[in-house]
């Protein structure tokens, strides 16, 4: 169902706190390029930031 929601969405926003960076999941729901925006609490590591930029994914750091 998650894949169907992603396919039908005009804008795909990923909410991810920085503790999730560099963690592997047991299931892949979508490719990095499927995201439109990533909202997180801290800047991602340099290699992930580069991959997000190459995939045209906007990264927004939430303020407190």
List pLDDT tens digits, range 25-40. Answer: 888 888 888 899 999 9
Query: Considering the chain, what is the average pLDDT of its residues?
Result: 90
Q: What is the pLDDT of residue 64?
A: 63
**49 neighbors 42 (Cβ within 8 angstroms):** no
Q: What is the pLDDT of residue 29?
A: 84
Residue 52 pLDDT class (50, 70, 90 cuts): very high
Average pLDDT on 1-20 reads 87
Surface-to-core class of residue 31, CB atoms within 10 Å of its CB (0-12 exposed, 13-18 middle, 19+ buried)? exposed
Q: What is the pLDDT of residue 31?
A: 84
DSSP state for residue 28 in the 8-state scheme: -
- Euclidean distance between CA atoms 60 and 15, whole angstroms: 10
58 phi, psi to nearest 5 deg: -75, 130
What's the pTM value of the predicted model, to 2 decimals?
A: 0.81
Torsion sign (Cα): 60, 44, 23, 47: positive
């Amino acid at each position: 169902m998650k894949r169907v929601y992603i396919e039908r969405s005009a804008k795909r926003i990923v909410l991810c706190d920085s503790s999730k960076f560099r963690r592997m999941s047991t299931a892949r729901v979508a490719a990095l390029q499927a995201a439109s925006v990533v909202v997180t609490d801290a800047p991602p590591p340099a290699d992930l930031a580069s991959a997000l930029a190459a995939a045209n994914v906007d990264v927004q750091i939430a303020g407190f």
